[in-house]
A and B are shown apart, each in its own frame.
Chain A
Amino acid sequence: MPMDARHYGRPRKRARAAAGIALAIGATLLTGCSSEEGPPTLTWYINPDDGGQATIAQICTDQADGAYTIETSLLPSDAGAQREQLARRLAAGDDTMDIMSLDPPFVPELAEPGYLAPVPEDVAERTTQNVVEGALTGATWKDKVVAVPFWANTQILWYRKSVAEAAGLDMSQPVTWQQLIDAAAGQGKFLGVQGARAESMTVWVNALVESAGGAIVENPDAPADEIRLGLESEAGTQAAEIVSAIGKEGLGGPGLPTQTENTSMIQFQGDQGSFMVNYPFVWPATNAAVEAGTLPAGLIEDIGWTLYPQVNAGEDTAPPLGGINLGVGADSKHQDLSYQAIECIVSPENQSLYFTTNGNPPANTDAYNAPGISDTFPMAETIRESLELSKPRPQTPYYNEVSTGIQQTWTPPSAVDPATTPATSSEFILAVLKGEKLL
């Protein structure tokens, strides 16, 4: 087995080399030369992006001027998988969890067992000024700020101007889901929604329920067996009516039961695109495709945007809220430095930089005033407005159960029945929370 033996030798050699380095460092320490030690390294667990977080890590490392170095470590692309990784590491008492990029719905689950280091009051005060309300709610657990809002995502309504015009819709005024359904049905076009059995389904249902004035979870900070759901209500029924109408009439297109943010964008860009609720990434992605020549040049001109549709005409819409908050692990050895670093990361300048380079909208309203933003994102003002109205998903430690329960009972959209689905999904989720049913 010469081949294997050779490869096997390599790690051993490396280990020996590492031991040598360790000895050398030890020796210098013994001679009192502690300046050789270097600044502490903070590990920042980031969700995948277009390199923006790594850039900001570098900027803040430079600005810290030797106080600390930030290193990034990548999490999976799926939000649920990110949570798994973080929760497992935190539960294992990993002391390298210095800074973590957290999806807001999962903050309570990590805050409740004390996995997050408390945010120092002064830091909390400085970093939450001018932060949009939804993002702040997403960073709060039991009336305490437990994480620092970094950026906030929201869905807006994208539309094809030609389709809206043909339907006679005045897009400068708020539109309702019913109007969109009628317009798409009338012209044989497809509505862009996310109907896949995935987190995006919960995002949609939550936005519909909240827009109708309800809430999926009425007492989010209750223990598992005392949680009350608000699905069996007028709001829940209205939400089910909309999902069901789009599903049953085939308005979401044939791909609806597996439709994600990306696939609904592709459908929207095509001939049958009409209206779509989706995140701002649509804009750079569509521009890139037009530049690459795979989409017609006229497409960009035909795309308009406005606020997320209303459920009841005249009642404020409650667009979905996403984004990332930054938390510090309770077992981190450098909590103070980590919060210093976080303050640097979430500075309005870095937030606007992140917006223009990576397309992730700032949580801080100040950051929208930066020059150049409206060139890259002409819809920046709509995004800011949408964020002000946005409502987070239920902030409960059992979010995973609630969300998966909704995904399983509200998909495929064509099987949703306004008369029964809200009740079935309520019963199902409550049984799961009580540990009486499998998920």
Chain B
Amino acid sequence: MSTSVEAKRGAAPAPKPAKPRLSDRARAERRLGLWLAGPAFIIMLAVTAYPILLALWDSLFKYRLTAPDDRAFIGLGNYGVILTDSVFWRDLGVTLLITVITVAVELVLGFALALVMNSALKAVRGWLRTAILVPYGIITVVSAFAWFYAFDINSGYINHWFDWVPGISPDLNWFADGPTALFVIIASEIWKTTPFISLLLLAGLAQVPGELTEAAEVDGATWWQRMGRVILPNMKAAIMVAVLFRALDAFRIFDNVYIMTNGAYGTEVLSLLAYRTSISRLEIGMGSAISVLLFLCVIIICFIAIKLFKVDLTGARGGN
């Protein structure tokens, strides 16, 4: 699969047509291609492009669902309010913090899991894969409840199990304080999504040419040397793609926070702010403006990754 779309096309039976005049056959193929690919393309565009344009439009109004008569055009007023409000910046900070920590931990953990899957004995490989895929397939809300109940001061057992750890006692209320609550939220997020990153890394690991590692081993390189000089450099593309996808995914975190704290005590993230403003407060205008800003943030992250780290996104695709 190292070849690009264009190169692959050369292998297809149809000869590459000359640009100016298309043969009938090429034209028919062209039409068929558009017909086959069209519906999926249109649906994807309709479900996302239209709503985001609508959000862009709504964000220019002062508009509350339960006061439809007071709807008024206020230009960029909503954006002014949001961008000068510390709540927005605090939530952005929390979101970025969660993103950075989860991605960093998952990268290490996911790499370890990928190595395990890659070199496990045949006998246990199936079991390991099954076990690792369970968090991947489980519903995020279920994961959130599982972690929440385990740590909760009333229904949890973690406090009792780990009361020998300094700082943990039966009286520790994990969800009463930002840092401890974020710890549990991040733990649940990491548990649920590490399998995804480890599968992407597994794919990258499989692409490292075996001859290189063997040659390094023959030359007497230690495990660490092989890792640092041969394997990791050859996996750079895979790692960057995995990091970017998880970062964008983590940046949109919602379910875990909603279930565990609903944003209380400094755990609110941008998605939750958007949700609370437009769905709970029914402030459609302001909520749409936050949605648009969230969308812009995602684009900026993407842009930075592509420009700064030269991540080739078209070679990859996302997960959930």
Chain B 269-308, CB-CB to A under 8 Å as 1, else 0, gives 0000100110111100010001000000000000000000
Interface flag for B32 (CB, 8 Å):
no
A91 contacts partner chain B, Cβ-Cβ < 8 Å: yes
8 Å CB contact of A113 from B67, B153, B290: B67
Given that A197-B264, A412-B265, A438-B82 are known contacts, is A257 also in contact with B173, CB under 8 Å in the complex? yes
User: Given A84-B280, A438-B81, A438-B85, are A258 and B173 also a contact pair (CB < 8 Å)?
Assistant: yes
CA distance A256 to B171 in the complex (A): 11
Within 8 A of A (CB), among B241-271: 262, 264-265
Of all chain A residues, which has the CB nearest B264?
A197
A84 touches B279 (CB 8 A): yes
Q: How far is the CA of A236 from the CA of B282 in the complex (A)?
A: 29
B165 nearest CB across to chain A (Å) = 16
Which B residue sits closest to A110, measured CB to CB? Answer: B66
Is B280 within 8 A of A263, CB to CB?
Answer: no
CB-based nearest A residue for B87: A438
With A and B bound together, what is the CA distance between A110 and B279 in angstroms?
16
Q: CB-CB < 8 A to B277: which residues of A?
A: 438-439
A397 to B282, CA, bound (A): 12
Closest-by-CB residue of A relative to B91 is A438
> Does B65 sit at the interface, judged by CB under 8 A?
yes
- The answer, yes or no, to whether A53 is at the interface (CB within 8 Å) is no
Give chain B residues whose Cβ lies under 8 Å from the Cβ of A109: 66
Q: Is B129 an interface residue (CB 8 A)?
A: no
Q: Using Cβ atoms and an 8 Å threshold, which residues of chain A touch B226? A: none
Asked whether, in the complex, the Cβ of B176 is within 8 Å of the Cβ of A263, the reply is no
B154 within 8 A of A: yes
Closest to A266 in B: B154
CB nearest neighbor in B for A401: B281
The reply to whether the CB of A51 lies closer than 8 angstroms to some CB of chain B is no
Docked Cα-Cα span, A412 to B173, in Å, equals 12
In contact, B273 and A254 (Cβ under 8 angstroms): no
B137-181 contacts to A, CB under 8 A, are 153-154, 171-173, 175-177
Query: Are the CB atoms of B87 and A435 closer together than 8 Å?
Result: no
**B173 pairs with A254, CB closer than 8 A:** yes
* Tally of chain A residues near chain B (CB < 8 A): 30
Please tell me if B136 contacts chain A, counting CB pairs below 8 Å.
Answer: no
Q: Hey, which chain B residues are within 8 Å of A256, CB to CB?
A: 173, 176
Cross-chain contact B276 with A439 (CB below 8 angstroms): yes
In the bound assembly, the distance between CA atoms of A115 and B279 in angstroms comes to 18
Please, which residues of chain B bring their CB within 8 A of the CB of A257? 173, 175-177, 265
- Chain A residues with CB under 8 Å of B66's CB are 87, 91, 109-110, 112-113, 115, 397
Asked whether any CB of chain B lies closer than 8 Å to the CB of A120, the reply is no
Contacts of B273 in A (CB 8 A): 438
Contact across chains for A412 and B176 when beta carbons are under 8 A apart:
yes
A437 contacts partner chain B, Cβ-Cβ < 8 Å: yes
Q: Determine how close the nearest CB of chain A comes to the CB of B269; give it in whole angstroms.
A: 14
Q: Which residues of B contact A397 (CB under 8 A)?
A: 66-67
Given A397-B66, A436-B81, A438-B82, check contact A88 B280 (CB 8 Å): no
A435, B72: Cα distance in complex, Å: 13
CB-defined interface of A88-117 with B at 8 Å, one 1/0 digit per residue?
A: 100100000000000000000110110100
CB distance from B287 to the nearest CB of A (A): 10
A176 interface residue (CB < 8 Å to B): no
Say whether A400 faces chain B, with CB atoms less than 8 Å apart: yes
* A317 part of interface (Cβ distance < 8 Å): no
| Residue with the greatest number of chain A CB neighbours at <10 A, chosen from B68, B153, B172, B262 | B153
- Is A255 within 8 A of B153, CB to CB? yes
A400 CA to B273 CA in the complex, in Å?
A: 15
Residue with the greatest number of chain B CB neighbours at <10 A, chosen from A84, A397, A435: A435
> A438 near B88 (CB under 8 angstroms)?
yes
Contacting residue for B265 out of A88, A197, A266, CB 8 A: A197
A87 touches B282 (CB 8 A): yes
A437 — which chain B residues lie within 8 A by C-beta? 81, 85, 87
Closest 9 CB pairs of A and B: A257-B176, A254-B171, A197-B264, A438-B87, A438-B85, A255-B153, A91-B65, A258-B175, A254-B173
Identify the B interface with A (CB < 8 A): 62, 65-69, 81-82, 85, 87-88, 153-154, 171-173, 175-177, 262, 264-265, 273, 276-277, 279-282, 286, 290
15 A–B pairs (Cβ distance < 8 Å), ordered by A: A84-B279, A87-B65, A88-B282, A91-B66, A91-B68, A113-B68, A113-B69, A256-B176, A257-B175, A266-B154, A404-B281, A411-B265, A412-B176, A438-B82, A439-B276
A197-B265, A404-B281, A412-B265 are known contacts; what are 6 more A-B pairs with Cβ within 8 Å? A80-B280, A197-B262, A255-B153, A257-B175, A258-B175, A263-B153
